[in-house]
A = this chain, B = another copy of it.
Amino acid sequence: MNFASDNTAPASAEILAAVADANRGAVPSYGADPVTTRLRARLNDVFGTELLAHPVGTGTAANALALATVVRPYGAVICAEEAHIATDECGAPEFFMGGAKLITLPNRDGKIVPAQIDAVMARARDGGVHHVLPEAVSITQATEWGTVYTPEEIAAIAAACRAHGLKLHMDGARFANAMMHLGCNPAALSWQAGIDVLSFGATKNGALAAEAVLFFNPTLAEGFERRRKRAGHLWSKMRYLSAQIDAYLTDDLWLRNAGHANRLATRLAAGLTALGTVRLVQKVQANELFVAMPPSLIAALRDTGAYFYEWIAVPGIDLPVVRLVTAHSTTQDEVDKFLSLAAAASRKLAA
């Protein structure tokens, strides 16, 4: 019962098989191989547009490279205060951007709104050269609180971005989970909604280590390839990176994986809510739950061998909050066993 993170999960068998399949003979290095060519075509097809795709090995690399390509060193990126780029990447965006700042916005559910962007830009315009210049907005899909931006919400943010001359980046580490929640297609959730550049995640949802930076407007990608090389993120044997993403997108594997994880998150949420002893502090829209629990229940569950993280405190809630994450590899048995243990522990605590 490991609900610590979807990055504790193994890879999908189909993805491993694709890597093995790519392991034949000598092929040109650095992306000039047939697997990478096939991947590019498949991404165009999946997203319904001619895009520029650059695979890398980690989500932090994808985010930091994407932002550094569209933001100058004296610039800034506007994002939610819990954004992974702001809290969990040890300053990677700042490093790759050459010192540009992140301007973080408070929020209740992981989502920022256009009025906040307007307010930041009003202050920035006043400040002149003493202040960094916001050049991009970054949103996370699904958000760090497990919620999902609708295409309409994204379009409203994109409109604010266009009004202020900002580029719009999406950290799509859980893009597939958001799509499955919304039941929409990839285009609707990305370029059609106004996203300029997407960190398209696969690692958390079934790959070994594979993400792709997708530029929907190729003119924004200038310099990306040299930036990737000088950051050490250009794989010489690129086929093994491309093969993962190619398999991920084949036969809807990515959607099946995300759908599975989402369904188990919903099942877990329903079961926990029924207990009466815990409370969801955010809507469950993807594969993450944030649950306020009595400390004694947390301790009892950990004693049973369940893994999960205690999260940051939530204002107005006096119980500790834990995060539970389901993955493509989580089984219904694990969920049900956890629920049954939680029920037993709840009864014991009530007694």
Contact = CB atoms under 8 A, between A and B. Distances in A.
Interface of A: 2, 4-5, 7-11, 13, 16, 19-20, 23-30, 56-62, 64-65, 72-74, 76, 87-92, 94-101, 129-133, 203-204, 208-209, 223, 225-237, 240-241, 307, 327, 329
A308 to B, nearest CB: 12
Contact of A92 (B10, B30, B231): B231
Contact of A226 (B28, B97, B129, B225): B129
Contacts of A96: 232
A90 B61 contact: no
Contacts of A223: 72, 74
A21 to B, nearest CB: 10
* For the complex of A and B, 8 pairs with smallest distance between CB atoms: A61-B232, A2-B26, A7-B236, A74-B226, A94-B99, A60-B232, A95-B99, A90-B230
Contacts of A64: 232
Contact of A57 (B87, B130, B133, B235): B235
Given A100-B91, A129-B225, A131-B88, A230 B58 contact: no
A60 B130 CA distance: 10
A57 B60 contact: no
B19 A92 contact: no
Given A62-B232, A129-B228, 16 more contacts: A4-B26, A4-B28, A7-B237, A8-B27, A9-B26, A10-B23, A16-B20, A23-B208, A57-B209, A61-B233, A73-B227, A88-B130, A92-B232, A94-B99, A96-B232, A208-B240
Contacts of A225: 129
B23 A11 contact: yes
* Residue picked from A7, A23, A56, A57, most chain B C-beta under 10 Å: A57
A57 B97 CA distance: 22
Given A24-B10, A74-B90, A232 B229 contact: no
B23 A132 contact: no
Contacts of A99: 91, 94-95, 97-99, 230
B29 A7 contact: yes
A94 B94 contact: yes
A90 B8 CA distance: 34
A203 B237 contact: yes
B8 A229 contact: no
B11 A237 contact: yes
A5 B130 CA distance: 15
A45 to B, nearest CB: 26
A18 to B, nearest CB: 12
A8 B87 CA distance: 38
B11 A26 contact: no
A229 B10 CA distance: 21
